[in-house]
Amino acid sequence: MSSAFVDFKIVKEAISMEMVLARYNVRLRKVNQSYLRGKCPLPTHAASSSDGSFGVHTGKNAWACQSDSCVKARGGKKGGNVLDFTALMEGCSIRDAALKLNDWFAPALAAPKKQSGPRQGSELVSERKEGSAAGENGPLQFTLKDIDSGHPYLARRGISKETATEFGVGFFPGRGSMAGRVVIPIHNRDGKLVAYAGRSIDESEPKYKLPGGFHKSVEIFNLHRALSAVGGAVIVVEGFFDCMKVHQSGYPAVVALMGSTLSNEQEKMLAEKFSRVVLMLDGDEPGRGAAREIAGRLVNRMFVKVVSLPDGKQPDQLSSEELHAILGEF
């Protein structure tokens, strides 16, 4: 391969898994608007009985194979991005994979980007106000009714009915894409409802649904409540349930990134609204790596503290006592 420079980030943002799959003539069945599933095309896949082990989340632009033998052959890694996939298919390094993708999809890489930040998922189409600017989320023109905040699933996740009611979270028995899921209202910084996320209660895929056209990178979950807390400090976690559990444990100044990445807009909001941040991401290698990366970006703009969780643990899996032992007065 040549010694030309290639920007990995641009390649990952501009080139979709669908484009790469099409080049390899890989056809997967569509499970829903943002999830594909089928037989694993990787050369590391040896199992003959796992025709549905390979999945692609088009919203996250990520893939995974659940076959134990395939995962073992890849050093324990279940999945990755377009660079990882191409490197495995071509038997080359990540850099060489990026150069190949650059050559194959040069027009896509040259096209102007409409927005910064990570690619977002989309499963549910929501009504929004006309005229919303690109990269912004207009307020929803509806609210879901008959939400059960006392559903047993919430209790199993350690969320009390009082906390669920405060957050507007609960089981939705109605019709539509969110039917039969626990719905989680998402508000913008001004407290306006802009979306609902839906969590499956039986671990069926996709575990979470997000609205079509929803720009996750410009919102921070629970920011409007955290802003009302005094002190200028905020705890940052990854997920919705992490946020609710920490809030329930007596820490109202807590927000969730709705993932493990920090967009430029989210970074700006945190720096503008708070003087101190405590990063409490998941206790696994991706979470710890993300915490290091985010801390490195924020440290020049505010005071940053990173707290470590026990191996394999998430904040919502800890008791209030354990959270207090980790966070103290924070």
Least confident of 64-73, 118-127, 298-307: 118-127
Neighbours of 270 (CB within 10 A): 23
Q: What is the pLDDT of residue 153?
A: 97
CA distances from 136 to 131, 188, 195, 215, 221 (A): 10, 10, 12, 7, 15
Angle at 195 between CA 189 and CA 197, to 5 degrees: 115
Per-domain boundaries in the chain: 8-110, 139-327
Share of the chain above pLDDT 70, in %: 88
Average pLDDT over residues 184-188: 97
The pLDDT tens digits of the residues spanning 234-269 come to 999 999 999 999 999 999 999 999 999 999 999 999
Confidence of residue 5 (pLDDT cuts 50, 70, 90): low
Most confident of the ranges 10-14, 107-111, 261-265? 261-265
Average pLDDT over residues 197-202: 94
Please say if the pLDDT value at position 96 is more than 60: yes
Task: State whether the Cα torsion 110-111-117-122 is positive or negative.
Answer: negative
Q: What is the pLDDT of residue 121?
A: 32
Share of the chain above pLDDT 90, in %: 55
- Site of tokens 């895929």: 205
Average pLDDT over residues 114-127: 35
Pick the residue with more confidence: 71 or 278? 278
Exposure of 277 in the CB half-sphere (CA atoms within 13 A): 29
Confidence of residue 110 (pLDDT cuts 50, 70, 90): low
Confidence of residue 93 (pLDDT cuts 50, 70, 90): confident
Tokens of 258: 């709705």
Confidence of residue 24 (pLDDT cuts 50, 70, 90): confident
The pLDDT tens digits of the residues spanning 43-79 come to 888 776 667 889 999 888 999 998 888 888 888 888 9
Pick the residue with more confidence: 295 or 106? 295
Coil, strand or helix at 232: coil
pTM of the entire predicted model: 0.61
From the options 3.40.250.10, 3.40.50.970, 3.90.580.10, 3.30.230.10, give the CATH code of 8-110. 3.90.580.10
Least confident of 20-34, 154-168, 188-202: 20-34
CATH 3.40.50.300 is held by the domain 139-327: no
CB-CB contact of 284 with 311 (8 Å): yes
Mean pLDDT of the chain: 86
